[in-house]
Amino acid sequence: MKIAVAKEIEICERRVALIPETVAKLVKQGLEVFVEAGAGEKAFFTDTDYETAGAKIISDSAQLWSEADLLLKVSPPQIREDGRAEIELLKPESVLISFLNPLGNPVIAQQLANRQITALSMELIPRTTRAQSMDALSSQASLAGYKAVLIASAALPKYFPMLTTAAGTIAPAKVFIMGAGVAGLQAIATARRLGAVVEAFDIRPAVKEEVQSLGAKFVEVKLEEETVAAGGYAKEISEDSKKRTQELVASHVKNSDIVITTAQVPGRQAPRLVTEEMVAQMKPGSVIVDLAAEQGGNCACTEAGKDIVWNGVTIIGPINLPSSMPVHASQLYAKNVTSLMQLLIKDKTLQINFNDDIVDAACVTHGGEIRNQRVKDALQAVAV
């Protein structure tokens, strides 16, 4: 069986699916690993590092894709410069493991099914205790939450910590985190480490204790509807609840030096939490970092991939922040992927067992079919 690590061609993608350390572990298990030449370059892992770990370097990209029994990637397959779709390069009935964004881009699932690919989507790994080591959404969201605070601190024309100096006392920065999931909690922890006074808000009441345990104040809104969906994710809330939460958070946004928004609802446009009116109320020099920029933005003024200044407020809409820390992002992703692979490989051969709840949940296409109902629904919605 040939395991292959593809070089990412997406322009913003600096991560690589396996690092030399994880390659060495697979080789030790007697598995054959092929790495596309230059695959780890942008994450500072050289071809020599992979060779030393026991991988074979393949310069011909099309050969690597077409001969792989199990192909590993980070970003979803792309269209190449020569116009060829990477999916078309895959060997029929081979296995692909990658982020695939199947709810946001269900057409990719149809293309993979048409090609008879067994595709496992890292976004669909269940958020269960047994699947924790495979949870790439969490490992990458944590990096994004950390980096969001650093970006904000660099853009803020102020100190973060309280300082008492001979030249006077500096008040600590006020940071407001909206959405206290994995990224939000890491953002709270990072802002606290830098000495800021931190408040956080989420529609899931269960996160209150986690927020408080990190030393932040929880801004609570009592809604008369269920806000938690299956798997512990947030639900999309009613217009009335949206209005109530916006009224509640407005004063916190206004009084903050930094607002970091991380709110998401899987498969939906990101909820709009910060309106233009709220931004207009913020002090000039304040900073917003919108981690939901790629999903439409939590802030009305966000432009994905851009830093803009609006009424004196800097609004940053980063794309693929984990990729800006490619060394550790790749290390963590590689661990997530290899943990998943351990469920798929028995006696050095691929065995896809749908009785395993993790494999069942993560496998989006198999045998020419899309297996996930939500992806099927999303595809139908696109077709209409």
Binding site for ligand NAD (CB under 6 A): 127-129, 132, 135, 137-138, 141, 178-184, 201-204, 232-234, 237, 245, 262-266, 271, 273
138 labelled catalytic: yes
139 labelled catalytic: no
User: Shortest distance, CB of residue 84 to ligand NAD, whole angstroms?
Assistant: 33
Between the alpha carbon of residue 256 and those of residues 5, 262, 276, 278, 303, the distances in Å are 44, 16, 15, 11, 21
User: Shortest distance, CB of residue 227 to ligand NAD, whole angstroms?
Assistant: 7
Residue 110, C-beta contacts closer than 8 angstroms, at least 6 positions apart:
370, 379
User: Shortest distance, CB of residue 365 to ligand NAD, whole angstroms?
Assistant: 23
Question: Counting Cβ atoms within 10 Å, is residue 293 exposed (0-12), middle (13-18) or buried (19+)?
Answer: buried
- Catalytic residue selected from 110, 116, 132, 246: 132
Task: Give dist(CA 148, CA 321) in Å, integer.
Answer: 8
User: Shortest distance, CB of residue 198 to ligand NAD, whole angstroms?
Assistant: 15
- Catalytic residue selected from 69, 78, 127, 244: 127
Task: Give dist(CA 284, CA 306) in Å, integer.
Answer: 18
140 labelled catalytic: no
142 labelled catalytic: no
Q: Judged by CB, which is closer to ligand NAD: 231, or 284?
A: 231
**β-sheet bridge partners, residue 72:** 5, 97
Q: Judged by CB, which is closer to ligand NAD: 210, or 307?
A: 210
132 labelled catalytic: yes
User: Shortest distance, CB of residue 262 to ligand NAD, whole angstroms?
Assistant: 5
Task: Give dist(CA 54, CA 40) in Å, integer.
Answer: 15
Task: Give dist(CA 229, CA 42) in Å, integer.
Answer: 38
Nearest position to ligand NAD, beta carbon: 181
Which of 158, 93, 90 shows the shortest CA–CA distance to 366?
93
Q: Judged by CB, which is closer to ligand NAD: 184, or 322?
A: 184
Q: Judged by CB, which is closer to ligand NAD: 3, or 299?
A: 299
Q: Judged by CB, which is closer to ligand NAD: 61, or 139?
A: 139
Residues annotated as part of the active site: 127, 132, 135, 138, 233
